């Protein structure tokens, strides 16, 4: 199971899984998932009667118990066991009943209307649809968590979080989802190989094209990618479009603005990828995500673009001496409007059910999860950044440290395209066209024309509810 978090920066693997889960969720009978909890009983009180303080902001009472359920996928569950230790160091009198599963919806959905677990990690293929949870009042707003003191640092919990974490967990103006994993996307390379050959990782496409002949001379393909899942290449295409055309151009695309796909900077961004294909710089073969990642690890290609779940996903087959390093997506150069913006975001969401018996304990456990000590352990164990600032500091791992460095230097704006989450038809078309462009069967101009036509069709269809991105 992959470690990809759900992230609104275009369709990712978790989003696809979420949609699959939603399909099952939304067809439940009328008396199914949440109808009973949408008003038949009052939510259980947060107030346990204990005195509130900086170290106990929710009034958690000794002698109580909290049931925590986490998703045991690519991240594993050891990180949560470490958080239990952190939690009990401050609240020794509270019993933590921690369990893990891959069947979140199957096991937790039936409890939501009666007596659910106190804290649930809603992730994986069998996950509950977050929009339904929010709309039916099944989960608790956690804005008070954001305002609470940080567990082991100065300021509030909100102050301790990486950019985008609050936004990614906010729905209808309220904060509902605590995403604990922080994914950074970009171009991966083998630092040991580059040091041996004296190669510098490129920052622009021109630098890449200049380096490519040297790479090919060593019998290595300059690039490899997942050719079977269209959202993989779309990550790279949309990141380049953002860097080239700027944030507003992508917002206009998301908002179906007339001729948004024809804005200055969009076509040149796609032409850079078109040139990469035309110049035969891709490793041949119709490889999927794990096959392309393994080919890269086997030294058949110099670069691959993917997120920071990569090391954990491929941990069993990383060759000795292979130094996984992450660099930012390449820019076009001086004409770029946002060359330093980074593609990153938070995922793997924890939620507190509205009918949870011990919401105070659930929120306090979340403070422990987001603590410096807890997030550092998370990074050490998963080789992925946590959503807390500085989680990767001091961790001796090239994959994690390069991602950490990239985020430290990142501007406030994070790359994200939301049209794939807004409109299923545009999602499907953009995936198909991304595959066609990277297969050399479509030009950059044809990509632009076809996406504009698809966007116009959605914009003119009054039966489709329109979404707006600010």
pLDDT value of position 172: 82
Where do the domains of the chain lie?
Answer: 13-183+345-408, 185-341
List all residues 6 or more positions away from 463 whose beta carbon is below 8 Å from its beta carbon.
none
CA distance 403 to 328: 9
**C-alpha count within 13 angstroms, C-beta hemisphere, residue 220:** 22
Q: Beta 119-122 vs 344-351: how paired, if at all? A: antiparallel
- Superfamily for the 185-341 domain: Periplasmic binding protein-like II (3.40.190.10)
Instruction: Give the pLDDT score at 49.
Output: 60
What angle (nearest 5°) sits at the alpha carbon of residue 390, between those of residues 387 and 393?
A: 130
- The rounded average pLDDT for each run of 10 residues, N- to C-terminus, in the chain (470 residues) is 38 40 33 42 49 92 96 88 97 97 94 94 87 89 97 93 89 91 95 98 98 98 95 96 98 97 98 98 95 98 94 92 97 96 92 96 98 94 90 86 90 90 90 97 98 98 88
CA Rg value for the chain:
23
Please state, in angstroms and rounded to a whole number, the distance separating the CA atoms of residues 251 and 108.
Answer: 36
Rounded Cα–Cα distance for residues 290 and 226 (Å):
8
For 13-183+345-408, CATH number out of 3.40.50.170, 2.40.30.10, 3.40.190.10, 3.60.15.10 equals 3.40.190.10
Q: Do domains 13-183+345-408 and 185-341 have the same CATH topology?
A: yes
To the nearest 10°, report the CA torsion of 376, 77, 67, 391.
10
CB within 8 A of 460, min separation 6: which ones? none
| Alpha helices in 255-339, H assignment, sequence order | 266-278, 289-297, 310-313
**CA-to-CA dists, residue 351 to 170, 176, 222, 275, 402, angstroms:** 12, 7, 42, 44, 30
Alpha-carbon dihedral angle through residues 451, 457, 459, 464, given to the nearest 10 degrees: -120
**Distance separating alpha carbons of residues 25 and 155, to the nearest angstrom:** 39
């Amino acid at each position: 199971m992959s470690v990809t978090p759900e992230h609104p920066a275009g369709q990712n693997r978790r989003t696809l899984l979420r949609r699959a889960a939603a399909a099952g969720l939304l067809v439940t009978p009328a008396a199914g998932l949440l109808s009973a909890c949408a008003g038949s009983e009052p939510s259980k009180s947060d107030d346990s009667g204990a005195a509130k303080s900086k170290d106990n902001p929710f009034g958690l009472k000794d002698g109580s118990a909290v049931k925590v359920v986490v998703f045991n996928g690519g991240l594993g569950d050891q990180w949560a066991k470490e958080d239990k230790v952190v939690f009990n160091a401050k609240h020794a009198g509270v019993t933590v009943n921690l369990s893990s599963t891959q069947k979140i919806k199957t096991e937790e959905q039936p409890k939501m209307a009666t007596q659910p677990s106190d804290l649930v990690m809603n992730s994986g293929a069998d996950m509950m649809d977050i929009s339904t949870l929010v709309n039916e009042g099944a989960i608790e707003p956690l804005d008070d968590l954001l305002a609470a003191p940080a567990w082991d640092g100065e300021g509030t919990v909100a102050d301790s979080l990486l950019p985008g974490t609050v936004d990614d967990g906010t729905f209808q103006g309220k904060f509902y989802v605590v995403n604990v994993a922080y994914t950074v996307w970009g171009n991966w390379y083998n630092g040991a190989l580059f040091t041996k050959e004296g190669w510098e990782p490129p920052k622009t496409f021109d630098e890449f094209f200049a380096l490519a002949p040297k790479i090919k001379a060593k019998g290595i393909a300059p690039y490899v990618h997942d050719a079977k899942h269209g959202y993989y290449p779309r990550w790279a295409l949309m990141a380049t479009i953002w860097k080239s055309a700027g944030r507003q151009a992508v917002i206009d695309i998301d908002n179906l603005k007339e001729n948004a796909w024809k804005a200055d900077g969009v076509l040149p961004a796609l032409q850079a990828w078109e040139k990469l294909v035309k110049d035969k710089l891709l490793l041949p073969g119709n490889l999927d995500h794990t096959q392309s990642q393994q080919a890269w690890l086997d030294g058949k290609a110099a670069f691959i673009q993917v997120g920071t779940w990569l090391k954990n996903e491929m941990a069993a087959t990383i060759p000795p001496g292979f130094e996984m390093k992450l660099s930012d997506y390449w820019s076009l150069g001086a004409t770029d409007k946002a060359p330093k913006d980074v593609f990153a975001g938070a995922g793997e969401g924890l939620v507190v059910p509205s009918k949870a018996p011990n919401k105070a304990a659930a929120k306090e456990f979340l403070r422990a999860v987001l603590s410096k000590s807890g997030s550092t352990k998370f990074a050490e164990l998963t080789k992925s950044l946590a959503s807390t600032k500085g989680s990767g500091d001091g961790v001796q791992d090239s994959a994690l440290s390069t991602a950490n460095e990239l985020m430290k230097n990142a501007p406030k704006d994070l790359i994200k395209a939301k049209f794939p989450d807004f409109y299923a038809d545009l999602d499907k078309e953009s995936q198909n066209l991304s595959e066609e462009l990277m297969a050399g069967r479509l030009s950059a101009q044809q990509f632009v024309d076809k996406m504009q036509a698809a966007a116009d069709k959605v914009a003119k269809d009054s039966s489709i509810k329109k979404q707006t991105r600010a």
